[in-house]
């Protein structure tokens, strides 16, 4: 690719022209995006799948975000800075980075050879992780980090993590432990050993959950983070008086005095997550890796709702 923004360089990208299921996705040639002020152009090594990718593709967020077709989906990325826009002194070509590349509208995402990212959404890649693991962190890691820090989680707290074995929950357990908290995590029984390995005390979700949590924490819990939705009654039943709670999947949480949260692009948060990874406190379990043209299969796997670890898409390199 040349240096002139005006030339019509193209790239491979997964795109869709209308809302739908994975059959609307196809591998296309698209123009390499122009790099705006305050943005950098990243040559993508890996992208990662999140449930929001196929929810956006289905039209589920149409009432909330402007969408410009054709859409290149994807918000998680690791890669190398190819070119910088005006006033981006933090980065230079060749920097190894990872990013939560969500913009304020839906159009140019990470399942492509190149993506532009505002510097507010970008940080140096954790040195100890490979490209795939690094791509698995940003959206889910920031979601977990922002919910737990918004609730002032710290040493002495007992935290209940609903959905502890999912992409967000896996990071939530590890971050809460790194913040010094005791963690009880809900997951199906087949994932209990994985949760113990991450430092949580596992409990099965479903009927009797309140009793199982109370058996472990008879005084109640200080903090509840809901990474699943539909669990507000349990949250209320196990939270101590004055306890704090948040959900990423249930707006009703607000009427119950909790925080309804949507992960924000946040360079400082990414740097904190990279530091945890490099200190050995944040591992990235990987469920499966797909090549770019198989992104639809990766979405379908995510849609099953019972994936253990991050689903990755390899765009270039090993």
* Closer by beta carbon to ligand NAP, 115 or else 263: 263
Q: What whole-number distance in Å separates Cα of residue 181 and Cα of residue 86?
A: 42
* Closer by beta carbon to ligand NAP, 88 or else 147: 147
Residue 278 sits at φ, ψ, to 5 deg, of -70, -20
Residue 1's SS3 state is coil
* Closer by beta carbon to ligand NAP, 9 or else 268: 268
Closest residue to ligand NAP, judged by C-beta, is 166
Q: What whole-number distance in Å separates Cα of residue 44 and Cα of residue 57?
A: 21
* Closer by beta carbon to ligand NAP, 7 or else 197: 197
* Closer by beta carbon to ligand NAP, 83 or else 162: 162
Number of H helices and E strands in the chain, helices first, is 9, 17
CB 171 → ligand NAP: shortest distance, Å?
9
DSSP type of residue 125: P
- With beta carbons less than 8 A apart as the criterion, state whether 212 and 224 touch: no
CB 146 → ligand NAP: shortest distance, Å?
8
CB 50 → ligand NAP: shortest distance, Å?
5
CB 306 → ligand NAP: shortest distance, Å?
4
Residues that bind ligand NAP (CB under 6 A): 50-52, 139-140, 143, 162-163, 165-169, 186-188, 191, 205, 227-228, 248-249, 261-263, 302, 305-307
For 168, the enclosing helix (H) or strand (E) is helix 167-178
CB 312 → ligand NAP: shortest distance, Å?
12
Take residue 242 and report the two structure tokens written for it: 């004055």
Q: What whole-number distance in Å separates Cα of residue 235 and Cα of residue 223?
A: 9
Residue 43's SS3 state is strand
């Amino acid at each position: 690719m040349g240096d002139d923004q005006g030339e019509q360089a193209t790239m491979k990208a997964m795109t869709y022209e209308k809302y739908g299921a994975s059959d609307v996705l196809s591998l296309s040639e698209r123009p390499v995006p122009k790099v705006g002020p305050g943005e950098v152009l990243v040559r993508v090594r890996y992208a990662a799948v999140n449930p929001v990718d196929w929810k956006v593709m289905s039209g589920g967020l149409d009432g909330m975000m402007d969408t410009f077709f054709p859409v290149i989906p994807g918000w998680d990325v690791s890669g190398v800075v190819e070119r910088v826009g005006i006033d981006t002194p933090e980065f230079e070509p060749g920097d190894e980075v990872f990013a939560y590349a969500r913009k304020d509208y839906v159009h140019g995402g990470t399942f492509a050879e190149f993506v532009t990212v505002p510097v507010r959404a970008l940080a140096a890649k954790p040195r100890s992780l490979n490209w795939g693991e690094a791509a698995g962190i940003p959206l889910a890691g920031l979601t977990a980090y922002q919910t737990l820090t918004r609730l002032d989680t710290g040493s002495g707290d007992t935290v209940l993590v609903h959905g502890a074995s999912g992409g967000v929950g896996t990071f939530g357990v590890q971050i809460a432990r790194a913040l010094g908290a005791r963690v009880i995590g809900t997951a199906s029984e087949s994932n209990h050993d994985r949760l113990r390995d991450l430092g949580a005390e596992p409990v099965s979700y479903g009927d009797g959950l309140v009793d199982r949590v109370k058996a472990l924490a008879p005084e109640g819990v200080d903090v509840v983070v809901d990474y699943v939705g539909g669990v507000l009654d349990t949250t209320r039943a196990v939270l101590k008086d004055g306890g704090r709670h948040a959900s990423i999947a249930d707006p009703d949480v607000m009427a119950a005095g909790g925080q309804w949260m949507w992960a924000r692009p946040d360079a400082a948060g990414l740097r904190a997550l990279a530091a945890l990874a490099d200190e050995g406190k944040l591992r990235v379990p990987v469920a499966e890796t797909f090549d770019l043209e198989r992104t639809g299969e990766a979405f379908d796997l995510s849609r099953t709702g019972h994936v253990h670890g991050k689903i990755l898409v390899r765009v270039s390199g090993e």
